[in-house]
Structure 1
Amino acid sequence: MSYSLTDTDQAAVEKMQDNERYNHFVNKVVEHQEMWILTDEHGCMMLTTEEDEDCIPMWPHADYAKTWAVEDWAECQPEAISMKTWQSRWLPGMEEDELLVAVFPVTDAAGALVEPGELQDAFKRKQSGR
C-alpha cells in the first residue's frame, strides 16, 4: 500500500543527490513493500545509458513515476511491483536479461544505476537492520 506524499515532500526528495535518493528508495520500498515502474501498451519503460546499458527506472511512489510520464513517455502509467513479485519474477528476469535498475531518476538526474542483485542486497540489509 502506497503512502501519502505531499508536494513539499516530493520537491525536497527530488532535490536530493542520486545516493540520497537511492537510500530513500530502499527505505521506502522496504517499509511499504512495493516499488513503481512506468508501463504502456508495449510493456515497461526502459532506458539506454550513454554506455549502451539497458535499464528499467523504478521509483518508491507512483507520484515520482508520474513526474517522468511526459513527452515520449506521456502515454505511460505508474504500475506497482510488490516486493514478492520483485523477488520472484523481476529480480531473476532482469538478471537473466542483463538489465540494470535506474533507481529513482528525476528530471535532472538519471538516478543510481545498479544491478538488480545489488539492489536486492540493499533491501535485505535494510530489512535486517544493518
Structure 2
Amino acid sequence: MSYTLSAADKAAAQTMRDDERFNHFVARVCEHQELWILTDEHGCMMLTSDDDEDCIPVWPHPDYARDWAVDDWSQCKPEAISLQVWLARWVPGMEEDELLVAVFPTADATGVVVDPYELKEAIERKQALGRRN
C-alpha cells in the first residue's frame, strides 16, 4: 500500500536535481518496499532516452507516475511492483532484454538512466545501511 504524498513533497521533488531524485527514489523504495511503473492494455510503458536507449520509467509513488501520464501516455495507469519482485524478476529480465531504467523522470527531465543492476546495487547499498542503523 502506498504512503500519502503531500503537495509539498510533490513540489519539492519537482525541484530536485536528477541525482537527488535518484537518491530520493532509492530511499522511498527501500522504505515502502515497492516502486511504480505505468501500464496500459498492452503492458508496461517504455520510453526512449536522449541516447536512443529503451527504458522503463519508474517512480517511488503512484502520484508521480500519474502526473507523468499525460498526452500520449494519458491512457496509462500506475501499477505497483513489490521490491522483491523487481529485484528477482524485473532486473534480470530487463538485463536480458537490454533495457535500461529511467529513475523518477519528471515532466521536464528524463531522470537518471541506469542499467537495472546499477539500480539494484544502489537499493542493496541503502538496505545494508538501514540494517546497520
TM-score, length of structure 2 as denominator length: 0.95
**C-alpha deviations, 1:105-127, integer Å up to 9, x for none?**
00111100000000000011000
Q: Distance in 1 between matches of 2:8 and 2:124?
A: 29
- The answer (yes or no) to whether the contact 2:13–2:21 under 8 Å persists in 1 is yes
2:33 maps to what in 1?
A: 33
Amino acid at match of 2:105: P
**Structure 1 residue 84 and structure 2 residue 84: aligned?**
yes
Could you tell me how far 1:100 is from its partner in structure 2?
0.5
Q: Distance in 2 between matches of 1:107 and 1:94?
A: 24
Q: Distance in 2 between matches of 1:9 and 1:84?
A: 25
Secondary structure, counterpart of 2:39 in structure 1: strand
- The answer (yes or no) to whether the contact 2:2–2:32 under 8 Å persists in 1 is yes
Q: Structure 1 runs of 4+ off > 6 angstroms?
A: none
Secondary structure, counterpart of 2:101 in structure 1: strand
TM-score, length of structure 1 as denominator length: 0.97
1:126 maps to what in 2?
A: 126
Q: Distance in 2 between matches of 1:9 and 1:51?
A: 30
Q: Distance in 2 between matches of 1:44 and 1:36?
A: 11
1:45 maps to what in 2?
A: 45
Amino acid at match of 1:121: E
State how many pairs are aligned.
130
- The answer (yes or no) to whether the contact 2:49–2:113 under 8 Å persists in 1 is no
Q: Distance in 2 between matches of 1:84 and 1:68?
A: 25
1:56 maps to what in 2?
A: 56
Identity value in percent: 65
Q: Distance in 1 between matches of 2:86 and 2:49?
A: 22
Which runs of 5 or more residues in structure 1 are unaligned?
none
Which runs of 5 or more residues in structure 2 are unaligned?
none
Could you tell me how far 1:50 is from its partner in structure 2?
2.7
